[in-house]
Amino acid sequence: MTKRPSPKDNYTDFGFQKIPLSEKTQKVAEVFRSVANKYDLMNDLMSLGIHRLWKRYALALANVQPGECVLDLAGGTGDLAIKLSQKVGETGFVILADINDAMLAKGRDRVIDAGCVANIRFTQANAETLPFQDNTFDLITISFGLRNVTRKENALQSMYRVLKPGGKLLIVEFSKPPSPVLSSIYDAYSFNLLPRLGKLVAGDEESYRYLAESIRKHPDQETLKNMMHKAGFDNCDYQNLTGGIVAIHRGYKY
Q: What is the pLDDT of residue 244?
A: 96
Q: Confidence class of residue 205 from pLDDT cuts 50, 70 and 90?
A: confident
Q: Which 3 state secondary structure label does DSSP give 205? A: helix
Domain edges within the chain: 23-178+209-252
Q: Between 52 and 88, name the one with better pLDDT.
A: 88
pLDDT the model gives residue 8: 55
Half-sphere exposure of 32 (CA within 13 A, CB side): 23
Confidence (pLDDT) at 42: 74
| Better-predicted residue by pLDDT, 215 or 163 | 163
> Which residues lie below 8 Å from residue 223, measured CB to CB, with a gap of 6+?
none
* pLDDT at residue 9, rounded to an integer: 62
Residue spans of alpha helices (H) in the chain: 21-35, 39-47, 50-62, 79-88, 101-114, 152-162, 180-188, 194-197, 205-217, 221-230
Distance CA 27, CA 49 (A): 28
Q: Taking all residues of the chain, what is their mean pLDDT, rounded to a whole number?
A: 90
Which range has highest mean pLDDT (11-15, 43-47, 159-163)?
A: 159-163
Region 150-163 average pLDDT: 97
CB neighbours of 84 closer than 8 A, spacing ≥ 6?
59, 62, 64, 70, 72, 94, 139, 141
Percentage of the chain surpassing pLDDT 90? 64
pLDDT confidence of residue 24: 86
User: Could you give the dihedral angle defined by the CA atoms of residues 77, 44, 192 and 25, in that order, rounded to the nearest 10 degrees?
Assistant: 10
Residue 6 predicted with pLDDT over 70: no
Domain 23-178+209-252 is found in CATH 3.40.50.150: yes
pLDDT at position 98 is 94
Q: What is the pLDDT of residue 62?
A: 94
Return the higher-pLDDT residue of 174 and 3. Answer: 174
Burial pattern 78-100, b for ≥16 Cβ within 10 A else e, equals bbbbbbbbebbeeebbbbbbbbb
Which range, of 1-15, 109-123, 127-141, 226-240, averages the lowest pLDDT? 1-15
Mean pLDDT value of segment 112-136: 94
- pLDDT of 45 higher than 80: no
Between 207 and 164, the more confident residue is 164
Task: Please tell me the distance from the alpha carbon of residue 19 to that of residue 4, in angstroms, as a whole number.
Answer: 20
Task: Provide the β-strand partners of residue 12.
Answer: 19
DSSP 3-state of 133: coil
Average pLDDT of the residues in 228-248: 97
pLDDT in tens, 102-122: 899 999 999 999 888 899 999
Is 5 a residue whose pLDDT tops 60?
no
Task: Using alpha carbons, select from 83, 80, 73, 76 the residue that is nearest to residue 38.
Answer: 76
For residues 206 and 77, give the distance between their C-alpha atoms in angstroms, rounded to a whole number. Answer: 21
